[in-house]
């Protein structure tokens, strides 16, 4: 049987979609409910926010590497530029 916790999915985001996702998660994390002292329910959202920020930072670094490697103008960087990202 497949362990559901170890399953992965490949999801394609544009840079603007990543920014929208980060913005939405920041709003969720900042939102406070009056009378609710235990904020443990926010932990998964905070973790996801950190992950999305890391993805954004890696994407920006990948873009900058593509410009540096190819010595090109930013508007002509190939979409298929591949750089291994260390995990």
Is the pLDDT score of 73 beyond 90? Answer: no
Share of the chain above pLDDT 90, in %: 33
Of 18 and 79, the structure prediction assigns the larger pLDDT to: 18
**Alpha carbon distance 87, 69 (integer Å):** 22
Share of the chain above pLDDT 70, in %: 79
Domain layout of the chain by residue ranges:
11-70
Sign, CA dihedral 47-13-85-22, equals: negative
Backbone angles phi, psi at 10, to 5 degrees: -100, 120
- Helix residue spans in 1-87 (DSSP H): 15-30, 43-70
Q: Quick one: pLDDT at residue 84?
A: 53
Token readout for 6 is: 């170890």
Is the pLDDT score of 19 beyond 90? Answer: yes
Is the pLDDT score of 22 beyond 90? Answer: yes
């Amino acid at each position: 049987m497949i362990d559901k916790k170890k399953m992965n999915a490949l999801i394609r985001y544009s840079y603007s979609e990543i920014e929208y996702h980060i913005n939405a998660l920041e709003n969720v994390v900042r939102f406070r409910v009056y009378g609710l002292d235990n904020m443990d329910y926010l932990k998964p959202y905070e973790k996801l926010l950190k992950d999305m920020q890391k993805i954004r930072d890696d994407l920006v670094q990948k873009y900058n590497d593509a410009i540096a490697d190819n010595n090109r103008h930013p508007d002509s960087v190939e979409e298929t530029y591949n750089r291994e990202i260390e995990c």
